[in-house]
Amino acid sequence: MSRTNGGGTDSFSALSVTPADMHVRTLGPARVDSPLVTLLSDTQQGVQYVADTDRVMLHDTTEVLEHCKRPLGELASFELAGPRRKVFFDASKTRAGIVTCGGLCPGLNDVIRGLVLSLSLIYGVKHVYGFKNGYAGFIPSFGYDVLDLEPETVSEINERGGTILGSSRGEQDPVAIVDCLERMSINILFVIGGDGTMRGALAVAEEVEKRGLKISVVGVPKTIDNDIMFLDQSFGFQTAYSAATGAIRAAHQEAKGAHNGVGLVKLMGRHSGFIACYASLAMSDANFVLIPEVPFALEGERGFLNVLHKRLIKRKHAVIVIAEGAGQEMLHADATKTDASGNMKLQDVGPFLRDAICAHFKKISFECSVKYIDPSYIIRSVAASPPDSVFCLRLAHAAVHAAMSGRTEMVVGSWHGRFVHVPMALAIRQRQTVNPDGDLWQSVLESTGQPREWK
């Protein structure tokens, strides 16, 4: 059984996730009245509180009942995010920290701003700190300053890309991180990052539990590739594929401006080709989309180079979009070599494919002009689009509500259009990828007209 999600399809079965997997850990009973009643007393409507029993089904209810024939009470479901009537932390005595890790992504500053504004103005938390340059910011030997984050500090940061906190990759000792949290009397830590970052956050939460401390660790998942499971989409993804369309547009014009012109665009996507797929559909000028989930061969009657040759003979130009993780099997990438985040070091498929195309057409004496475009760093560093800014702010609100209620070892996300709590261990259990048999890839095939398989 599969579920179509935002055009992609994740292939877990209805029985692979149990209700126990969905349990979100708390630091203890929530006994403090929520300050939202007082702080929002001037509004015309009261606070729409969420009960702990409010749930969002993992799978579409109709689909589950049809395929599983199981009682609703036995089906896996997520906690619904939102403000609770009772909270765990007394806001007047609470200190919170924020850290951003990994590569840049549109919306990081929006999330930081949303967290600070929600903590300060909605809950009345007086001390919010920003740790600089990822997990290294907690380690004394690096000597990084800690920022005091106030509403005035973050008032306009959403208007630019990047992160005011800086970022870094690589693991740091969770013992040293918790030592820092203890020294600074921090009660809540918000971690913004991808799957590697969340593994680090999980290790921090485990060290916190080992010491018997009451520190909430809540994640806001950041992955420009949109590859974290159990999320409708990740923040920044919509901005990223929207920005990528500019590169495809340029490649199309370059290709049409030359005899047998080829525009080749490399986009982000280490293991998942969502950006390549969505950007190509948004522009619909791409003739070939190559992603990690669908292996392709260069040589042979139905190989990529021969199909490209036929396209050029017929139409005199072609646009190719390739995700950075595609074709790694041809480049003989060494899985034992990893970067600071523990990810396999990829070979650069863009120049490889460019050179392969040029060499092939030179060999058969076919005139061809290839223009190669890699907009990755431009896309990563742009400011979030308005829809993404809204999404970032709502994620931040959900994260603060969860943390103040004493939830920990969890991330916030959107599922079936509702904001939910997802246990960290479940969120990073496996990677979301484009399903070659799903409707998103079918749309790409229909748009490009490329073969379903390369042989």
pTM reported for the whole predicted model: 0.91
Question: Which residue is listed with tokens 């890839």?
Answer: 441
Catalytic residue from among 225, 227, 285, 388: 225
Q: What are phi and psi of 370, to 5 degrees?
A: -105, 125
Cβ contact 121:151 at 8 Å: yes
pLDDT score recorded for residue 62:
56
- Can 225 be counted among the known catalytic residues? yes
Element (H, E) at 64: helix 61-68
pLDDT score recorded for residue 18:
84
pLDDT score recorded for residue 329:
87
Structure tokens at 152: 């005035």
What are the distances in angstroms from CA 67 to CA 17, 61, 229?
A: 15, 10, 22
Structure tokens at 150: 């106030």
Q: How far apart are CA 380 and CA 236, in angstroms?
A: 9
pLDDT score recorded for residue 49:
86
- Look at strands 32-33 and 86-87 and give their pairing: antiparallel
Give me the domains of the chain, ranges plus CATH numbers. 3-234+384-427 (3.40.50.450), 238-381 (3.40.50.460)
pLDDT tens, per residue, the chain with 455 residues:
334 444 434 444 444 788 889 999 999 999 999 998 665 555 545 567 888 888 888 876 555 555 555 655 567 889 999 999 999 999 999 999 999 999 999 999 999 999 999 999 999 999 999 999 999 999 999 999 999 999 999 999 999 999 999 999 888 999 999 999 999 999 999 999 999 999 999 999 999 999 999 999 999 999 999 988 888 989 999 999 999 999 999 999 999 999 999 999 999 999 999 999 999 999 999 999 999 999 999 999 999 999 999 999 999 999 999 999 999 988 876 666 766 656 677 899 999 999 999 999 999 999 999 999 999 999 999 999 999 999 999 999 999 999 999 999 999 999 999 999 999 999 999 899 999 999 999 999 999 999 998 87
Cβ contact 23:34 at 8 Å: no
- In sequence order, what E strands does 41-159 have? 55-57, 77-80, 86-87, 95-100, 127-131, 146-148
pLDDT score recorded for residue 379:
95
